Structure 1
C-alpha cells in the first residue's frame, strides 16, 4: 500500500461520503473513487459497501481504518522526529517535554534544574497539557519525552523509568462531613450522596456516561469541588497546590500512582539520554 492511498481510504472511511472526502482531500471525486477501487483490487478484499445513497464499511474496511490511522500516525511521527534530529545535528538540540498540567509540579521543577546543570544540556520546551494528552503527544512525535502516571496513562510501547510512587487522597468541599474523617475507603468516596465522581475524557475525547460533571483539567475540577458539585481522588503530591477551601482526606486503599519518565524506544538523542539520567538520579 502507498501512504497516499491509505490517506484517501481513511478520509472516505471517516466521512462515509465520497464527495465530502474529496473536498477534505482537495481533489476531485472520480480519481478518489478510482484510487479506492485500486486499493481494493490490490488487497483482494472489499473495503466499502456502496449504494446510490450510502457508503458503509465492510469488516475488512473497519479493520483497515483502525490499522490505517495507526500507520499514518506513525509516518507523521517519524517525520516530526526526523526534523528535530536534523536540528539537533545542526547544533540546535531541543527537547519537547510534556506533562499533565497541575501534576508533578515539584518533580518537574527539580528535573529541569538537575538537567540544566548537566554539561551540554539542550533547551527544554515544556508543554503542559490536559488529561491524557501527554501520552498522545509522545506517540505522535510532537514530544520527545513525557511524565506519565500509571495506572491512568498507558505506557505500552515506550521505554520508561519509574521516578516516584505515592498514595492518593480525597478532595471534598470544605465543611463536608466526610472531610472530618482520619481516612476514607474507596467505597466511601465513590458513593457520596449528592457528590458524583467527575467524568474524565477517554483517549478519543469522548466522555463516559454518568451523573458526574465532565472535567477537562485540574483547575476546572478544583472549582467544581469548591462549588460542591463533585469530589475527586488525586495523588498525594497534589496537596501542595490545593486551596484552603477544600478538605483533604487520605484514601489508603486507592490504587497507588507511579510517575514515570517515558520516551520512544528507538530514540538516539544524546540530549534525551541526558534528561533521563538526570531524572533517575533525583
Structure 2
C-alpha cells in the first residue's frame, strides 16, 4: 500500500464525499476515484459503498480508517522527530501539548519545578483546542502531553496519573442556575439561553448548532461572562475565573483524571526527568 493511496482513502472516509475530499487534497476528483478503486482491487475488499447520492464505509473501510490514521500519524512523527533531532543537538528542548485553559495551575507548578532541576532543558508549550492536545504527541510535534481521562484517548501512550477531580459548570453571574449550590447534568439540558460552545474541527470548520463559535479559552470565558454560553470543566478551572463568572459543582458528572503522557518509544532523558517531576508534584 502506498502512502499516497492511504492518505487519499482517509480523506474520503472522513469526508464521506469524493468532491470534498478532492478539494481537501488539492486534486481533481477523477484521479481520486481511480486511486480508491485501484486500492480496493489490490486489497480484494470493498472499502466504500457509493452511489450517486452518498458514500458509506464498509466494516473493512472502518478498520482501514482506524489503522490508516495511526500509520499516517506514525510516518509524520518519524519525520518530525528526525528533523528535531538534527537541530536540537546544540540546544535540546522539550515540547509539551495541553488543552488551552486546562490544568493551568498544575502546568505552571510543573514547569517551575522542572526548571529548577539539574540538567533541565527549555520547555515550549503548545496550546490546543479541546480534543486536539493528543495529536501533537502522536505526530512527533510534541514530546509530552497533559491529557484528561475519560475524554482524551491515551491508547498507545505511556501515562502517569497526576490528579483526579470533579467537574463544575461555569455560568455567567446572575444566571438563575447560580442560585443552586450544586447542579446535575440534567439541569443543563435544553438551556436555550446558554447553548454549548462550538470548537473548530482540525480542518477549521464548525459543526452546526446554536452555540457560539469559539477559537480560544479566553474568548470562551468572555462569552460566558456576556451570557452567551457556558463551560463544563474540571474543578481546578476555578483558579482562572474572573469577575462575572460563577462555578457550580456538577454532582453526577464523571470525575476527570489528569495524566502526563509520552510515546512509549521515547528514550529521552529530559522526558523522563519531566515525568518524574510531575509525579513527585
Normalised by the length of structure 1, the TM-score is 0.79
Number of the residue aligned with 2:135:
136
Give, in whole Å, the separation in 1 of the partners of 2:196 and 2:121.
39
Give, in whole Å, the separation in 2 of the partners of 1:44 and 1:188.
49
The offset of 1:200, in angstroms, is 4.3
Number of the residue aligned with 2:267:
268
The offset of 1:225, in angstroms, is 1.7
Q: Secondary structure at 2:127's aligned position in 1?
A: strand
Q: Which runs of 5+ in 2 are unaligned?
A: none
The offset of 1:192, in angstroms, is 6.8
Equivalent residue in structure 1 for 2:187, among 183, 189, 195: 189
Q: Secondary structure at 2:126's aligned position in 1?
A: strand
The worse-fitting range, judged by mean Cα deviation, of 146-155 and 108-117 is 146-155
Structure showing greater radius of gyration is: 1
The offset of 1:25, in angstroms, is 5.8
Matches within 5 A, 1:104-253: 104-181=103-180, 183-187=181-185, 189-191=187-189, 193-201=191-199, 210-253=209-252
The offset of 1:65, in angstroms, is 4.7
Give, in whole Å, the separation in 1 of the partners of 2:54 and 2:190.
47
Question: Pairwise CA RMSD of aligned residues?
Answer: 3.7
Give, in whole Å, the separation in 2 of the partners of 1:110 and 1:116.
10
The offset of 1:115, in angstroms, is 1.1
The offset of 1:161, in angstroms, is 0.9
Find out whether 1:42 has 2:42 as its counterpart. Answer: yes
Alignment: residue pair count: 277
Q: Which runs of 5+ in 1 are unaligned?
A: none
Find out whether 1:74 has 2:71 as its counterpart. Answer: no
The offset of 1:110, in angstroms, is 1.1
The worse-fitting range, judged by mean Cα deviation, of 107-116 and 188-197 is 188-197
CA deviations 1:39-90 (Å, max 9, x no partner) are 4453234557899x999677355654554343222211122123333445x3
Q: Secondary structure at 1:133's aligned position in 2?
A: coil
Q: Secondary structure at 2:91's aligned position in 1?
A: coil
CA deviations 1:144-191 (Å, max 9, x no partner) are 11111222222222111111122222322222233233x222146314
Contact 1:184/1:251 (CA < 8 Å) preserved in 2? yes
Query: Are the structure 2 counterparts of residues 216 and 277 from structure 1 closer, same or farther at C-alpha, using a change threshold of 3 Å?
Result: same
Find out whether 1:258 has 2:260 as its counterpart. Answer: no
Give, in whole Å, the separation in 1 of the partners of 2:225 and 2:126.
27
Contact 2:185/2:253 (CA < 8 Å) preserved in 1? no
Q: Secondary structure at 1:97's aligned position in 2?
A: strand
Number of the residue aligned with 1:279:
278
The worse-fitting range, judged by mean Cα deviation, of 196-205 and 76-85 is 196-205
Query: Are the structure 2 counterparts of residues 5 and 245 from structure 1 closer, same or farther at C-alpha, using a change threshold of 3 Å?
Result: closer
Give, in whole Å, the separation in 2 of the partners of 1:247 and 1:169.
10
